[in-house]
Amino acid sequence: MTRWRRLIGRTAAALVAVTVGSFVVAAPAAAGPTDDVTPFVVGGTPAVQGEFPFMVRLSMGCGGSLYSARLVLTAAHCVGATGTNTSITATLGVVDLQSGSRIQVRSNYVYRAPGYNGNGKDWALIRLATPVTSLATLPIATTTAYDSGTFTVAGWGATRERGAQQRYLLKANVPFVTDASCRTSYGNEFIPAEEICAGYPAGGTDTCQGDSGGPMFRRDAANGWIQVGIVSWGRGCARANYPGVYTQVSAFAPAIASAAASLGG
């Protein structure tokens, strides 16, 4: 895809309350008369309560991750310009967005990546008005050591192109796609120094509209979760030979850390 698609994605995120995640779409082996009318079974599976405590749902229809008690890491295309912003509500601590146990906190400031123009640099920090200290945070990758292997993605976004946002958090695993392969898919729209791709050659599993801003993560050497990507864009969702494109967190780790410090940590 392209800059055009990125702009479309940003517009959608800005205007719609929620966007989504993507997940596998597979044909049922045999559909019977009592099956759902939807001719697909979405491939993602529900996350278990507490499995990904750092997952955040944002009121403009994006995902995010808890970077520190007061900061949520998300995509630049999910937010407006840097400055005071009290319009975003973050929902945390639940897989069910309607759960009575959910934590909801307002934003008080947005920091959008300097130089962001809809092409790369797709990261931002949202500062919460009240710190959330009851949930585990998600550390970010500071080197490229974890920028390969199998990744996990999660979100409340669409389960297929043009599909509805989800009430319950879904998760899926997607394999790393090399820069060379991703360039074959997307040409110069893909920025290898700033982006990392993931997905199966045959498609079927992916993030999708509404998952933007959420984390792509994996296990580190100590078996803890570490964030390597931020859901950014793709051509459609889960299409063969069009992997999801994620902000390469390791490339921006110093900038994210210094921005976080400037926001009070």
Residues with a known catalytic role? 77, 122, 212
Following DSSP, what letter does each residue of 130-155 receive, concatenated?
S---SS---PBP-SGGGSSSEEEEEE
Residue 95 phi, psi (nearest 5): -85, -30
- Token match 């043009």: residue? 162
Q: Which stretch binds ligand ARG (CB under 6 A): 91-99, 126-134, 177-185, 204-212?
A: 204-212
Stretch that binds ligand ARG, among 6-14, 107-115, 216-224, 249-257 (CB under 6 A): 6-14
Position 209 contacts ligand ARG (CB under 6 A): yes
Backbone φ, ψ for residue 127 (5° rounding): -90, 135
Indicate which single residue of 210, 216, 248, 250 sits in contact with ligand ARG (rule: CB under 6 A). Answer: 210
The enclosing H or E element of 11 equals helix 3-15
Q: How far is CA 113 from CA 63, 64, 118, in A?
A: 17, 15, 11
Which of these, 24, 94, 84, lies nearest to 263 by C-alpha position?
84
Which positions from 121 to 160 touch ligand ARG by CB under 6 A, shown as an x/- string? ------------------------------------x---
| Chain residue at closest Cβ approach to ligand ARG | 234
Region of 31-39, 82-90, 187-195, 230-238 interacting with ligand ARG (CB under 6 A): 230-238
Kindly list the residues in this chain that would bind ligand ARG in the complex (CB under 6 A). Answer: 9, 12-13, 19-20, 22, 157, 206-212, 231, 233-234, 237, 244
